[in-house]
Structure 1
Amino acid sequence: MLDFEVWDKLLRQYVDQEGRVNYAAWKTEQPQVLDEWLSSQTRSFLKSNINTLEKLALWINLYNALTISSILKRYPLDSILPKIFGVPNWLAFLWFFQRRVYYIFGQHYSLAQIEHQILRNELQESRIHFAIVCASVGCPLLRSGAYFPEQVMQQLDEDAHRFINNPQKVYYDFDNQTLYCNKIFKWYRQDFLKVASSIPEYIHPYLKIDVSLTAATSVSYLDYDWSLNHRIS
């Protein structure tokens, strides 16, 4: 297993309790530490006998660390969605996630491979959608600490509660009786429907308001904010 202490220390130093990342300070003070840690920890081959909890902590940490490392190299920037003359460049955006440039455990990976092949298909854990980050405001907030195998299930449950009880991500409008959701629930609908019969029923156990959510509850999806999730020193 990897030693997550360096990653944990960096997160505690540069990520606040609201999940905002101080990229400016991180890049000024310790620009190479994250890449050095990634290189030192992933140059050998991965043991075949690690268990599910170890895999979850490992691949969530790696996904987030690789994402943050890529942003640090490009910082300053306003959004992870580049634009050309004001028009979103979706090709460049998709290439950021699809390019197989991360050499890990003897293989080349893309962020998309880690997400879809390992975290979604192999590990089958819907709550990873509240943990892995794309560095935008719309995505889950970055945890100010690493994931650890002995804590990862509790951490994922905390992430789900934080995401679903953030009114910028999920809220119920009593006036029009509609549940407004982050588009993650639309894009990864099939993952959530493996756990519950509908999106409202998946959300209901986590949402801290007195409302009955059922399959018949009206659902509307919020606009997604691709601007960079960061804070100024």
Structure 2
Amino acid sequence: MELKGRIIVYSIMGCPHCMRAKNSLQEHNLPYTDISLDLYPQCREEFQAKTGKKTVPQIFFNNKHIGGNDDLQAVIKNKEELKKLIEEVKNNESQSDAPVPPDPSTAQHSADPGEIVCEPDEYAILVHDLKDSGLIKDHRKGLKTYKNSFSGKDFVDWVVKTKQLEREQAIEMGQALIDNHFGHNVKSSETFEDKDVYYRLLDDDDEDALNSGGMSDCKPRPAAELGADLRKLILRLYAAFLSPDGKKVDYKGIGGSDEFKHYIKLTKELQRVEIVDASREEKLAFFINVYNALVVHANVSRGPPFFNTVKYIIGGHSYSLQDIENGVLRANRKGVGMFSNPFGKNDPRLKVALEKHEPLIHFGLVCGAKSCPPIKTYTPDMSTVTSLTPQSIINIGQYAVIEQLKVASEAFLDGPDGCDVNVSKKTVYLSSIFKWYFIDFGKNNEELVQWVYDYMGESEKKEKLKEVMSGKFKVSYLSYDWSVNSK
């Protein structure tokens, strides 16, 4: 169909509702111009001015603002309205107050992940030499065997002999290997000693971790910086391998892609990332993104993940999905079916755990099941923010990770998997997430439902909830669909 005017779709990369809207336009043979706010960040100011919205997609027929995907679907059902809109763009050129497509030459393409380079770490060279030294082997002490280990004394002797250094300097080098997360004491001590005490390189420590089997030679990066690179690559994967309706993931397609090969390479940098001194916001964004990426990695490599066994090495220590959720993000609280806290009092990962739990993380973590909150990514940065939610929410303003999570929780509660209200039965139906993690939301049903009300967007459902809350009410939990969200 030839148009004198123009259909504009504002979108972001990987947005499910954007995909649905564009797919619907294609099905009706309606050509459109896609303005990606990822590629053309200079268009964001105009986007806000013309729509007054923080969500995508936003669709225009010439200067007539249709709204989001739900609005488009309503127009398509109304054949008379759709006919009028088609006639408008078919017979009339785009008006001066209609959105203007940007010059393609101004697109700000992100660097290909394969081009990411790192500054080499001087201790990476030492590690390569150590691997070739013959010092690393199985050692037996009493009834205990320490596999793939070396003693502190042997290491110092080797450095003194091969590097022509004093013993004190050799000990400092051993400590530097620990401090830079290349290795650690097999008993978790963080001190290097010139004794028959055994140490193990990180690369030999946990062969089950999905990012084990080869270390990054890069200098350790701050969590926020590495997290940003991971986030961009995850967005690219989902942009390419989400189904047209945004509901399913082609894990097989991801596994065979070049982007996934780049992603695996990037996960090696997680092994020595600097995370202990990160801010609360940086930890929230970083660990939520890593959790969601680990679920994808597991689904691609091994199938649906087991939450206490699938893990990454992060900042020198192994973290399972359980460790990330309950140990770090829930401030070391017991999880479902757990008899003790994830981290003991001497566990070095306690330094990484949040001091106070954050209930909103439950709407950011994606377990890979159909009833989980949808896929999204987060950033601690107060500048550009993109996220994938049921309503494809993009943060154009100055939002931090907490604000993004609030938006995600609002979107989840607005949907049928998050909350439903039956006024006649005086019953509030909630996702089973609220049952499993009840303690995170309140001490009783009243506090729980008040939390839900406070984080719910303005809607007819919220009005119903307010009515139910005015008297006695019951809380019931929705069944949870654990089937995998794969194509």
* TM-score scaled by length of structure 2: 0.40
Distance 1:133 1:47, change over 3 A: closer
Residue 324 (structure 2) pairs with residue 97 (structure 1): no
Residue 371 (structure 2) pairs with residue 138 (structure 1): yes
- Do 2:298 and 2:310's aligned partners in 1 also have CA atoms closer than 8 Å? no
Q: Distance in 2 between matches of 1:39 and 1:51?
A: 22
Equivalent residues in 2 for 1:20-99 (5 A)? 20-30=248-258, 31-40=260-269, 42-75=270-303, 80=304, 96-99=306-309
Structure 2: stretches of 5+ with no match in the other structure = 1-222, 332-353, 382-399
Aligned to 2:481: 225
- Do 2:275 and 2:283's aligned partners in 1 also have CA atoms closer than 8 Å? no
State the Cα distance separating 1:72 from its structure 2 match: 0.8
Please say which structure displays the higher CA radius of gyration.
Answer: 2
Aligned to 1:172: 421
What is the one-letter code of the residue matched to 2:264? Answer: D
- Do 2:426 and 2:472's aligned partners in 1 also have CA atoms closer than 8 Å? no
Q: Which moved more, 1:120-129 or 1:184-193?
A: 120-129
1:106-144, Cα deviation, whole Å (9 max, x unpaired): 11111101111110112511010011111001221112x
Aligned to 1:83: none
State the Cα distance separating 1:19 from its structure 2 match: 5.2
Please point out which of 147, 168, 192 is paired with 2:378: 147
Equivalent residues in 2 for 1:111-126 (5 A)? 111-121=321-331, 122=354, 123-126=356-359
What is the one-letter code of the residue matched to 1:25? Answer: G
* TM-score scaled by length of structure 1: 0.80
Relative contact order (alpha carbons < 8 A, sep ≥ 6): 1 or 2 greater? 1
State the Cα distance separating 1:157 from its structure 2 match: 1.0
Distance 1:23 1:137, change over 3 A: same
Report the 3-state secondary structure (helix = DSSP H, G, I; strand = E; otherwise coil) of the residue aligned with 1:180.
strand
- Do 1:129 and 1:184's aligned partners in 2 also have CA atoms closer than 8 Å? yes
State the Cα distance separating 1:186 from its structure 2 match: 0.3
1:173-220, Cα deviation, whole Å (9 max, x unpaired): 2332211111000000000117x9522111112053212153842111
- Do 1:21 and 1:229's aligned partners in 2 also have CA atoms closer than 8 Å? yes
1:129-171, Cα deviation, whole Å (9 max, x unpaired): 011111001221112xx21102312210111011111113311
Percent identity between matched residues is 30
State the Cα distance separating 1:172 from its structure 2 match: 0.7
What is the one-letter code of the residue matched to 2:402? Answer: M
Report the 3-state secondary structure (helix = DSSP H, G, I; strand = E; otherwise coil) of the residue aligned with 2:318.
strand
Distance 1:101 1:127, change over 3 A: closer
Residue 421 (structure 2) pairs with residue 188 (structure 1): no
- Do 2:311 and 2:321's aligned partners in 1 also have CA atoms closer than 8 Å? no
Structure 1: stretches of 5+ with no match in the other structure = 81-92
Aligned to 1:8: 235
Residue 156 (structure 2) pairs with residue 156 (structure 1): no
Report the 3-state secondary structure (helix = DSSP H, G, I; strand = E; otherwise coil) of the residue aligned with 2:256.
helix
Q: Distance in 2 between matches of 1:10 and 1:147?
A: 15
Q: Distance in 2 between matches of 1:19 and 1:7?
A: 16
Aligned to 2:320: 110
What is the one-letter code of the residue matched to 1:221? Answer: Y
